[in-house]
Amino acid sequence: MKNKLFGTTNNGEDVYLIELISGDLSVNILSFGAILQEMVFKNKSVVLGYSELKPYLKNPHFYGAVIGRFANRLKKGSAKLSDKTIKVEINTKSGHHIHGGSQGSCYKNWKILDQSKTHVTLEVLLPDGEMGFPGNLLTQVRYEILSDASLYIKISASTDEETLCSFAHHSYFNLKGEGYIWDHSLQVIANNYVDVDSTGIPIQVCEVKDSPFDFRLNKELSYNHILDHNFCISNQRNKIRKIACLSYGNISMDLMTTEPGLQVYTGHKLGIALEPQIWPDAPNNSSFPSALLSPNQIYEQETIFRFECENP
């Protein structure tokens, strides 16, 4: 199967675009960053993306990327493992680590392992010691369009030394295809959220009840209340289940995942990021779900974005 050449990286690597299609849903996946570059449902583009490679090489908003090896923040670039504390790259102005760093998975050109008209599997090795992370982390992601207008994403990883492992898919969704997202409605099935300081570092876990973070029932997004918070779905990874729903007009998108947390970000305003993951700064908070991966374990994260359009 011949893929389209999307561009060439600064070090001369070819980046390919893989087209997947089934029924009313089609997606474009890039080998660079394992990025979801485009998603079209019923002839309407529903994610934000760039039309050329160059802006993806820096990708400051992480459009469509698979981010890791640790998604979200690590306070002051420090993280506790079982028997030691590691120091990793600080890549924010506030002095913390975020989203795997400057050489994280979203800045790698992944290898295409196999593909069909409806799926692709990509692989990348995140090497031992890179940016301070221990262990060679061999990572795969599988994108597959299912028969019910759903995109299935499976991220798996293994390591040869204890390390941190918490990936997230980072697409920005806009179900009307253009303009601002404030006329979208969101439901998140969570009783708690992580309150954070001005730099995004956890302070405490709070109840959503009687707060602006109560999205247990469908609620319209507000430009007066920007979200960049983790909603606490559970205390550990579980079987895949519905945790959220985004809707606009007669179009809705259910989000199902195995993950214990959902980071919701509306600060971009043109799209909403819904990022299944482990809670932020988890290694430094003993009561949070564990982000440790040892050589005798396999990391597996599953997420489904399922689209539906009611008759107008």
Q: Which tokens is 216 given?
A: 């247990």
Closest residue by Cα to residue 213 from 236, 182, 187, 234: 187
Strand partners, 88: none
242 vs 39, 154, 305, CA distance in Å? 20, 16, 10
CA 296 to the chain's CA centroid: 25
Residue pLDDT tens, the chain, 312 long: 789 999 999 999 999 999 999 999 999 999 999 999 999 999 999 999 999 999 999 999 999 999 999 999 999 999 999 999 999 999 999 999 999 999 999 999 999 999 999 999 999 999 999 999 999 999 999 999 999 999 999 999 999 999 999 999 999 999 999 999 999 999 999 999 999 999 999 999 999 999 999 999 999 999 999 999 999 999 999 999 999 999 999 999 999 999 999 999 999 999 999 999 999 999 999 999 999 999 999 999 999 999 999 875
Check residue 7 and give its pLDDT.
98
Residue ranges making up the domain that contains 74: 4-309
CATH of the domain at 216: 2.70.98.10
Check residue 312 and give its pLDDT.
57
Q: Which tokens is 69 given?
A: 């090896």
Report which secondary-structure segment, H or E, holds 56: helix 54-58
At residue 33, φ and ψ (nearest 5 deg) are: 70, 5
Report which secondary-structure segment, H or E, holds 169: strand 168-170
Strand partners, 32: 109
> What single DSSP character describes residue 58?
H
Grouping H, G, I as helix, E, B as strand and the rest as coil, residue 174 is coil
Q: Which residues in 265-293 are b (16+ Cβ under 10 Å) and which e?
A: bbebeebbbbbbbbbbbbbbbeebbbbbb
| Domain total of the chain | 1
Q: How many Å apart are CA 232 and CA 225, to the nearest integer?
A: 19
